[in-house]
Amino acid sequence: MRTKRKGRISRIGSYAIASSIRDNNHHHQPCITCTTFNILAPIYKRLSNQDQSCRESDCRANWLARNNRILDWLLYERSSIICLQEFWVGNEELVNMYEKRLGDAGYFTFKLGRTNNRGDGLLTAVRKDYFRVINYRELLFHDFGDRVAQLLHVELITPFSQCRNSDLRQEIIIVNTHLLFPHDSSLCLERLRQVYKILQHVEAYQKENNLNPTPIMLCGDWNGSKRGHVYKFLRSQGFVSSYDTAHQYTDADEQKWISHLNHRGNICGVDFIWLLNPNKYRKILKTSWSEAVFGMFKYLLRRASLTESDTFAFLRADNDGDYITYSGFCEALQQASQCCLILQLNLTGHHHGLSVEETEDLWVQADIDGNGIVDYKEFQRIWKTTWSDQGDEISNGVQDGGGGVKVNQEQTIGLSVENAVLFPPEVEKGRWPENYSLSDHARLTVVFSPIQMPRSC
């Protein structure tokens, strides 16, 4: 198995090395590689299925050996960007080991612990010979899961030959995060809210610094599959899954690959490197957020066997007219005693539910003409809106701006997905190998090629 692992990882390493040699011979920039990996913090790793209280953190020899093996693989691969989750920030020895070995190998490193001293967090590393770090920001959600995110704004050091005579700066925004695990349905909205906060943070950073359209990478453990609302929300914002793009999988291809064996014994694909190119048209973020919440609402209503007309009647509350008022809308969401449906929806009535401001935002999106009521035609527009509007186009991570999307003639730098590999290799076929012990997550590495493209309006 050891030989097979090295053989597999050498393919991605050889690809990057070969690209570097080829590109340097032709005065081109090497490809950019990005690795995301949840390395399973020793404080969570169980050493025995029988004794659930026995953790790896209690056995220094075990966690030290495993994390040294993880570092061996990371340094063998030498990705341009490394994003780690469940990094044990609470152990000074482990932190120093990662910072020293990565630093000696030529990386800038940035670590961030989860709030309330949860013990683990994030580590992001970028190669000094590839990037100049323009800025680094930390996002603390201050939520139920004490989750956090890192934002790095970097610039490629060596210009590409195709852009050598232009004034274009080759910049990338990188985000590393680890979303809340969906322990129950009440947390679905909270997870969606975490992604919304990340996108708000990125958008605010771009406006604050007056940035031109720039490629955005969102890396990490998203704790949700391609069937989930987080995935659909990010797709509605124009992001593509780099692994699926490389393998030409569509949004409908659900279980072609996996990346996690969770504590419940289920296997699923939850680790993503999302890419948004600067030529990709984006909806207004608040509009996408409201549509995502309505999409969740519709999904849960269907699970409760409510039809379109049933839902309209439910939201009308006690109103006798053929329309929904704001007060009736709020009453329908708040009055759990009137119907057991709300207990199933889990959108209100608890501290993870919709806030007053979020409820008002939903209403604004529903009341299209702003006359203070939502008639049946307006309600149908919400009900019939599907995620299929985002499309399933897979075009090497680069959208051509067709289909009515306006494109400027101004040029910018984007990223093309060239290759993507999951390790161990069995997970690419939907199987979890019994003898894999590095983590309960697979490692995902994606190869990108910077290209010049027109940017969207």
| Predicted local confidence at residue 263, as pLDDT | 81
Distance (Å, rounded) from C-alpha 174 to C-alpha 149?
Answer: 10
Cross-strand partners of 411: 454
| Predicted local confidence at residue 9, as pLDDT | 41
Query: pLDDT for 85-97, tens place per residue?
Result: 999 999 999 999 9
Tell me the average pLDDT across 404-429: 81
Distance (Å, rounded) from C-alpha 203 to C-alpha 257?
Answer: 31
Highest mean pLDDT among 20-34, 231-245, 304-318, 341-355 belongs to 231-245
Query: pLDDT for 306-345, tens place per residue?
Result: 788 888 887 877 777 888 888 888 777 665 334 445 544 5
In Å, how far are 229, 286, 349, 385, 403 from 292, measured between CA atoms?
7, 10, 19, 10, 22
Contact 157, 130 (CB under 8 A): yes
Instruction: Please report which confidence band the pLDDT of residue 217 belongs to, taking 50, 70 and 90 as the band edges.
Output: very high
| Predicted local confidence at residue 111, as pLDDT | 98
Lowest mean pLDDT of 13-22, 45-54, 279-288, 439-448, name the range. 13-22
Distance (Å, rounded) from C-alpha 441 to C-alpha 38?
Answer: 6
Tell me the average pLDDT across 135-160: 90
- The rounded mean pLDDT for the chain is 81
Tell me the average pLDDT across 157-162: 57
Does 394 have pLDDT greater than 60?
Answer: no
Joined together, the tokens standing for residue 96 give: 């120093």
Tell me the average pLDDT across 435-451: 95
Instruction: Please name the residue that has the structure tokens 């609470």.
Output: 90
Higher pLDDT, 265 or 48: 265
Distance (Å, rounded) from C-alpha 268 to C-alpha 96?
Answer: 32
What sign results for the dihedral spanned by CA atoms 377, 378, 382, 383?
negative
Tell me the average pLDDT across 100-106: 98
| Predicted local confidence at residue 32, as pLDDT | 94
Contacts with 35 (C-beta within 8 Å, 6 or more apart), sequence order = 74, 77, 79, 81, 82, 83, 443, 444, 445, 446
Does 161 have pLDDT greater than 70?
Answer: no
Contact 331, 317 (CB under 8 A): yes
Contacts with 131 (C-beta within 8 Å, 6 or more apart), sequence order = 80, 108, 154, 155, 156, 157, 172
| Predicted local confidence at residue 160, as pLDDT | 47
Lowest mean pLDDT of 148-152, 202-206, 302-306, 411-415, name the range. 302-306
Tell me the average pLDDT across 254-270: 89
Query: pLDDT for 264-301, tens place per residue?
Result: 888 999 999 999 999 887 778 888 878 888 877 777 77
| Predicted local confidence at residue 262, as pLDDT | 87
Does 194 have pLDDT greater than 60?
Answer: yes
* CA angle, residues 350, 353, 359, in degrees to nearest 5: 130
Contact 179, 147 (CB under 8 A): yes
Query: pLDDT for 62-82, tens place per residue?
Result: 999 999 999 999 999 999 999
Instruction: Please report which confidence band the pLDDT of residue 385 belongs to, taking 50, 70 and 90 as the band edges.
Output: low
| Predicted local confidence at residue 227, as pLDDT | 84
Instruction: Please report which confidence band the pLDDT of residue 390 belongs to, taking 50, 70 and 90 as the band edges.
Output: very low
| Structural domains of the chain, with CATH | 2-279+399-456 (3.60.10.10), 289-388 (1.10.238.10)
Higher pLDDT, 377 or 355: 377
Contact 235, 251 (CB under 8 A): yes
Query: pLDDT for 11-23, tens place per residue?
Result: 444 444 334 433 4
| Predicted local confidence at residue 106, as pLDDT | 97
Share of the chain above pLDDT 70, in %: 78
Contacts with 404 (C-beta within 8 Å, 6 or more apart), sequence order = none
Tell me the average pLDDT across 341-352: 54
Lowest mean pLDDT of 66-75, 125-134, 137-146, 180-189, name the range. 180-189
